[in-house]
Amino acid sequence: MNKKDLKYFEGLIQDKIQKIRKDLDHFGENVMSGTNTELSGDLSAYATHPSDQSSGATEREYAFMLASKEGRFLHHLNEALERIKDGTFGKCRVCQKKIGKTRLEAVPHATMCIQCKSEEERLKRERR
């Protein structure tokens, strides 16, 4: 995938992230006590578990977000941004082939091409 395409998908993903963060704001503002505009803000205000020192604010923040469907989606989108950075974006993690652009536009955080995905779905159904 060339730079122009990566830039395009980066923008697409960032738009989605912004939108979800907005959605999550009203959901999290009680917990985050005013830091709701920036999720990477200081969350120590609600660090009520001193025994939980090993997991930093970031992990706690994720745990909090992962509790919701939007949060999980956000997590996947952030991972997609990481893949844009390390150059593995748009590559199927099973067969290493390119994932179609149309598919990535619909599902920018996709890690599998449509063939591998449907194969996985098929295997899942058979296992049941």
Say if residues 42 and 35 touch (Cβ distance below 8 Å): yes
Interface stretch with Zn ion, choices 29-37, 39-47, 58-66, 91-99 (CB under 5 A): 91-99
Nearer CB in complex with Zn ion: 17/94: 94
Q: How far is the CB of 104 from Zn ion (least distance, A)?
A: 13
The reply on whether position 110 binds Zn ion by CB under 5 A is no
CA distances from 58 to 16, 23, 62, 87 (A): 20, 19, 6, 24
Query: How far, in Å, CA of 62 to CA of 107, rounded?
Result: 21
Interface stretch with Zn ion, choices 1-9, 14-22, 64-72, 112-120 (CB under 5 A): 112-120
Interface stretch with Zn ion, choices 7-15, 35-43, 53-61, 94-102 (CB under 5 A): 94-102
Residue with tokens 């939980």: 52
